[in-house]
Amino acid sequence: MKTNSLFYHLFQNFPSIFFELIGHPPTETNGYEFQSVEIKDTNQRLDGVFIPAKRTRQPIYFVEVQAQFDEDFYYRFFTEIFLYLGNNKSNRDWFAVAIYPRRIIEPVIPRPYQWLVESDHIKRFYLDELGLIANQSLGLGMLKLLVEDEPKAQQRAEYLIHQIQQLTPTNEQPKLAELLTTILAYKFPESGIKELTKMFELNDLKQSKLYQEAKTEGKLETVPLLLELGLTVERIAQELQLDLEAVKEAAKELASQATSLE
């Protein structure tokens, strides 16, 4: 699965994790909508924008996840931000957040933008440096899981499973379990769903979309995600116990939607 898609899924479904990351209370999520925004008249797109409700004075937050080295990253990021502000005639304050798996991936900051990066308008985060704070927060622990090597990933996953089962309300557990299993599938794309279930003892989290044995149409909602993870339609049909033709139809619809956006 593309890392940016995974983060988009994460912040769209659990926006409180973003506000935890930047040191704000999770309740600040109220009044915001997270979107991936296409810049008009260009071929550029912002990974994510937290857009505040119109009647509030809250700032706009621009979020970009940079998983690979790109020496032009800051040129592109700031260009997209200022195009967005100009196109929307925004009069709000704004902040930008750049997220890197590791510090080594960050490119040299171009001189014209150094003052911006050094200001309080820009925050940079390196997931492998989250440290102890990742153990104190379920959401930040899931972010840290993305950059752990296999032995540490298994240990952290087991700890997160315990947090979900023991420390979260019952009605919130299925959605959190789905997020965790999505991240695990991203981390271990070569492992089948049944193998992951056994590896991390996820049998108690059966309401997760990726692991439940439901035979309803809702199961097809996971097909686009699993396709991005690199599974074949045959493997998806086998693991989800779905009809092969139904999976092919879902894949065809996904391809059609992608073509219409080009």
Residue 58: CATH number of its domain: 3.40.1350
Share of the chain above pLDDT 90, in %: 19
Are 115 and 159 part of one and the same domain? no
- Spell out where 101-256 has E strands: 122-126
Are 128 and 153 part of one and the same domain? no
Cβ count near 226 (within 10 Å): 24
CB 31 within 8 A of CB 53: yes
Containing structural domain, residue 254:
213-262
Are 39 and 109 part of one and the same domain? yes
The whole-number pLDDT of residue 78 equals: 92
Are 160 and 130 part of one and the same domain? no
Residues composing the chain: 262
Say what the pTM is. Answer: 0.69
Are 166 and 128 part of one and the same domain? no
Cα separation of 220 and 207, whole Å? Answer: 15
Are 6 and 117 part of one and the same domain? yes
Weakest-pLDDT range from 44-48, 62-66, 161-165: 44-48
In a domain, 73, yes or no: yes
Are 5 and 111 part of one and the same domain? yes
Are 17 and 68 part of one and the same domain? yes
161 residue type, one letter: I
Number of domains in the chain: 3
Tell the burial category of 108 from Cβ atoms under 10 Å away from its Cβ (0-12, 13-18, 19+): exposed
For the segment 53-104, what is each residue's pLDDT rounded down to a tens digit?
Answer: 888 889 999 999 888 899 999 999 999 999 899 888 888 899 999 999 899 9
Are 223 and 197 part of one and the same domain? no
In a domain, 252, yes or no: yes
Are 24 and 125 part of one and the same domain? yes
Are 119 and 12 part of one and the same domain? yes
Are 27 and 120 part of one and the same domain? yes
In a domain, 133, yes or no: yes
What integer best gives the mean pLDDT of the chain? 79
In a domain, 16, yes or no: yes
In a domain, 142, yes or no: no
**More confident: 151 or 202:** 151
Angle CA(192)–CA(195)–CA(197) in degrees, nearest 5? 110
